[in-house]
Amino acid sequence: MEIPGSERAQFIQYTFDAKLGFEGKDVVIKEAGDNTFDVAIPEFKFIGYDRPEYRVVVEQNGALSFGTQQIDTLDMVNNILTDKAKKEYVDSNRDILEEQAKSFYTSIVQSVSPDTKLNFTFQQAEGD
């Protein structure tokens, strides 16, 4: 039952450093002939995060909110990173992730064999 004046609201601002990448053991490199190799990069994933920071920006408590359960700010922060939000972080950084993967594998191969060419393919997440 909803009682007027017992409502609570809390708005938080949050930041964190997202860790995005792929499982290196799942990279497949195959010879394509003529000093060329095909490099298949697996799906990019949200791996984790560092340095989470949050602060309450606005808190609203109704006049009768003393009888209402407190809002758990830490629980709110933990619920921010849903699977959908993680996918959005990966999708919004896809171009950078692809360039970093190309640069990483190209620098390794060309340090040993400068004339070797690499062709890259990137696996997309299901539903993309």
What are 41-56's pLDDT values in tens digits? 999 999 988 887 776 6
Q: How high is the pLDDT of residue 62?
A: 54
Q: How high is the pLDDT of residue 111?
A: 95
Could you give the CA distance from residue 107 to residue 109 in angstroms, rounded to a whole number?
A: 6
Question: Both tokens of residue 70?
Answer: 């407190």
The helix (run of H) or strand (run of E) holding residue 103 is helix 94-112
Average pLDDT in the 12-20 region? 82
Could you give the CA distance from residue 21 to residue 23 in angstroms, rounded to a whole number?
A: 7
CB distance 8 to 64 below 8 Å: no
Q: Is the pLDDT of residue 105 over 70?
A: yes
What are 66-98's pLDDT values in tens digits? 455 555 656 666 677 788 989 999 999 999 999
CB distance 76 to 25 below 8 Å: no
| Helix/strand/coil for 100 | helix
| Helix/strand/coil for 81 | coil
CB distance 61 to 69 below 8 Å: no
